[in-house]
Structure 1
Amino acid sequence: GIGFYGRGWTGVTQDAPGGTATGPAAGTYEQGIEDYKVLKTSCPATGTVAGTAYAHCGSNWWSYDTPATIAGKMAWAKNQGLGGAFFWEFSGDTSNGELVNAISSNL
């Protein structure tokens, strides 16, 4: 499954994964969760770890999927002989469907 949102923390001082935080980052709907369509421009991904993108912006650190990370996950799913993929919260995608298109075109 692919989340069309990211998970974020605040009070972060390092770029790389594995640091400390003081709590969840502010989100549109609840703390620590933000839509991909917002994160794409407000905190663009700067790296990947374990097949998921991450970004450090100010004192916030976010992890989320991008079209590129989704392509990698779909390649893995095909190689495993899996029959499909799912996603949740369609409203987190961009208006032109970047994430759903990455699933569709790579599965």
Structure 2
Amino acid sequence: GWTGVTQSTPGGTATGPAPGTYEQGIEDYKVLKTKCPATGTVGGTAYAFCNGQWWSYDTPATIAGKMTYAKNQGLGGAFFWETSGDTANGELITAMANGLK
């Protein structure tokens, strides 16, 4: 995520990384889904603009699209880098598992 952003669409400028829970510019999906809900999609990834901050992140819908791509390409599967940023009920990992069925 970025801060000091003045436009909601991708391609703008920023003054620096947005504040994150653990590291600047990085935030968990479970936080962003309510703090700064997605307002659009570009390149298969959701983005959001809230209070001068611009974030890009995966949602269950964008993950579903990526799993469709993986299946259509005949890929052997997908992986999740780290799951602690997912919701308590596993929205993202569930989208991945359902998308690979």
Give the TM bin, normalised by the shorter chain. over 0.9
Give 1 or 2: higher strand fraction.
1
* Residue identity opposite 1:12 in structure 2: V
Answer yes or no: is 1:42 the counterpart of 2:32.
no
Correspondent of 2:57 among 56, 64, 67: 64
Map of 1:25 onto structure 2: 18
1:47 Cα shift? 0.2
Correspondent of 2:6 among 1, 13, 23: 13
SS at the partner of 1:69?
A: helix
Answer yes or no: is 1:82 the counterpart of 2:57.
no
- In the alignment, structure 1 segments of 5+ residues that lack a partner are 1-7
Deviation readout 1:8-33 (Å, 9 max, x if unpaired): 00000000000000000000000000
Aligned mates of 2:30, 2:51 — CA distance in 1: 19
- In the alignment, structure 2 segments of 5+ residues that lack a partner are none
SS at the partner of 2:87?
A: coil
Aligned mates of 1:60, 1:103 — CA distance in 2: 27
Map of 2:86 onto structure 1: 93
* Residue identity opposite 1:89 in structure 2: E
TM-score of the pair, normalised by structure 2: 0.98
Map of 2:96 onto structure 1: 103
SS at the partner of 1:48?
A: strand
Map of 1:54 onto structure 2: 47
- In percent, how many aligned pairs have the same letter? 81
Aligned length: 100
Q: Which runs of 4+ in 1 moved over 4 A?
A: none
